[in-house]
Amino acid sequence: MLFADLYTSIMTLPQTLTAHLTPLQAHTIYVLSVLVKAQAFYILPASAFHPFNPRELPREIFVQDGYELSTPVVDEQGQGSGSAIPSKKKGRPTKRDKKKKALQALHQVDKWLEKNTVTIHPPSEASNPASRTVEHDTPPPAPITTHVLMSHPPTTTLNNYRTQKSQLLDAICTDTSESGSAPEALHRANAAVLARMKKLDEMAAERGLEVGGEGGERTGLGRVEKAVAELDGVSGARGGILGLLDGGGLGSR
């Protein structure tokens, strides 16, 4: 269906093809003539008269939950009941379907996390000799909520890591060469990691985000800065960020 004024514009289209579009005039005239002979156009009055019923057709049709209305229901007497049977929409899933599936997947993840979450209580002073050196006015560590797989930490792997790290730090601290390259390399590595974390923190702040810090003083950029500073300022501290696992940056060693 075409308005009369729009039909006139289409019929005069070949005359508007000038300059470098002139070769297209013959092709346009042929296509229009074929459409006219096939009576492909249904001409309506000019658009100024609003010949559609209703005057302004809806731009979009709302379809509830990915369904669309099919043909009206016809009873045994052949009369329409005015109702329609919803039929499943074919083709690609709609945005509503995608959103619904995404919410279902997120809900399943939440249920899985809730099912596999445990609360780990920190060891008492009797079972943790290292905690006896901490002052008595220090509040005890709060329980940690984590995944069930972390309820039984890999103690053997942790001990192997600590042993190899201790051997590495012993070799670095006992470097008696004139260049002293090992301690300098350790300082450069600490400084590079700290600078990278500061850069990430600045980029996150520009977007209104925060990098770490959910665990208070035990996490975040502040603890890394303290751990790096302990390389030069705390007696017996070594490794800097390599000592985070052993309490580096907490001031309790």
Cα dihedral across residues 123, 124, 127, 133: positive or negative:
positive
Report if residue 214 sits inside a domain: yes
Report if residue 68 sits inside a domain: no
Report if residue 165 sits inside a domain: yes
For residues 225 and 228, give the distance between their C-alpha atoms in angstroms, rounded to a whole number. Answer: 5
pLDDT of residue 38: 93
Cα dihedral across residues 14, 19, 22, 23: positive or negative:
negative
pLDDT of residue 74: 46
Residue-averaged pLDDT of the chain: 76
197 and 185 within one domain: yes
Cα dihedral across residues 156, 158, 163, 168: positive or negative:
positive
Q: How many domains does the chain divide into? A: 3
CB 131 within 8 A of CB 142: no
143 and 187 within one domain: no
Residue with token string 């990098």:
211
What pTM did the predictor assign?
Answer: 0.38
For residues 134 and 124, give the distance between their C-alpha atoms in angstroms, rounded to a whole number. Answer: 13
pLDDT of residue 217: 66
pLDDT of residue 236: 59
Domain residue limits at 113: 101-153
Report if residue 185 sits inside a domain: yes
251 and 166 within one domain: yes
201 and 127 within one domain: no
Report if residue 72 sits inside a domain: no
pLDDT of residue 171: 84
CB under 8 Å to 161, separation ≥6 — which residues? 245
Residue 196 burial by Cβ neighbours in a 10 Å radius (0-12, 13-18, 19+): exposed
CB 3 within 8 A of CB 51: yes
130-134: long-range contacts, CB 8 A cutoff, minimum separation 24:
133/252, 134/252
The first and second tokens of residue 56, run together, are 């302004």
232-238: long-range contacts, CB 8 A cutoff, minimum separation 24:
238/169, 238/172, 238/173
117 and 193 within one domain: no
240 and 182 within one domain: yes
* pLDDT beyond 70 at 150: no
216 and 170 within one domain: yes
Cα dihedral across residues 133, 138, 143, 149: positive or negative:
negative
Report if residue 69 sits inside a domain: no
130 and 42 within one domain: no
207 and 141 within one domain: no
Report if residue 252 sits inside a domain: yes
Per-residue model confidence as pLDDT tens digits over 72-113: 444 444 444 444 445 555 677 888 888 999 999 999 988 887
Report if residue 143 sits inside a domain: yes
CB atoms within 10 A of CB 172: 18
Q: What is the DSSP letter of 12?
A: T
239 and 190 within one domain: yes
CA dihedral 185, 189, 192, 194 (to 10 degrees): -130
219 and 124 within one domain: no
140 and 183 within one domain: no
Per-residue model confidence as pLDDT tens digits over 7-63: 999 999 999 998 889 999 999 999 999 999 999 998 988 888 878 777 766 656 666
pLDDT of residue 234: 60
